[in-house]
Amino acid sequence: MVPETGMAGLSVPAIVATAIGSFLGVALSFNKWLDMRKTDKTHVTILQESIAYHEKRAEAAESKAEKAWAKVDELSEQVSELKSSNATLLERVSSLTDANSTLLRRVSDLTEANDRLSKSLEEFMRGSR
């Protein structure tokens, strides 16, 4: 018995085997393509998660930086107020130092006057005896 021949002189089992082989080749190619799509999706998902993670960290860092700058501004304002207060206190200390010097001169003058009066009194007392 001679096998039936189909197209181009091939036997039916050869044609069926070729068709099955072609189908399996296409199926394997389709499966490979699906695996690549899954891998692509996995890479995209990983990248999206990484981007989201870094965005969260950047937002947290930005929030901390804003708080730090607010604290720096607050401290800068306090330093300015302290400098102003310090200048006022320095003026007051200078004024008090001047007043103290004046009073010390006055005390010195009064002490000298007291010493002269004491000597004059002693001389008077010696002379009146």
SS (H, E, C) 48-91: HHHHHHHHHHHHHHHHHHHHHHHHHHHHHHHHHHHHHHHHHHHH
Mean pLDDT of 3-16: 70
Distance, CA of 45 to CA of 39 (rounded, Å): 10
Per the domain annotation, does 65 fall within a domain? Answer: yes
pLDDT score at 16: 86
pLDDT score at 39: 74
Distance, CA of 93 to CA of 99 (rounded, Å): 10
Per-residue pLDDT for 2 more than 60?
A: no
Which amino acid, 30?
Answer: F
Per-residue pLDDT for 112 more than 60?
A: yes
What is the distance between the terminal CA atoms of the chain, rounded to a whole angstrom? 181
46, 54 Cβ separation under 8 angstroms:
no
Q: What total of structural domains would you count in the chain?
A: 1
pLDDT score at 18: 87
Per the domain annotation, does 67 fall within a domain? Answer: yes
Per the domain annotation, does 1 fall within a domain? Answer: no
Mean pLDDT of 85-102: 96
Per the domain annotation, does 2 fall within a domain? Answer: no
Per the domain annotation, does 48 fall within a domain? Answer: yes
| Structural domain for 26, as ranges | 7-127
% of the chain residues with pLDDT over 70: 92
37, 44 Cβ separation under 8 angstroms:
no
Distance, CA of 25 to CA of 32 (rounded, Å): 10
The pLDDT tens digits of the residues spanning 27-79 come to: 888 888 888 877 777 777 888 889 999 999 999 999 999 999 999 999 999 99
Per the domain annotation, does 100 fall within a domain? Answer: yes
Per the domain annotation, does 58 fall within a domain? Answer: yes
DSSP classification of residue 5: B
Per-residue pLDDT for 119 more than 70?
A: yes
Mean pLDDT of 75-93: 95
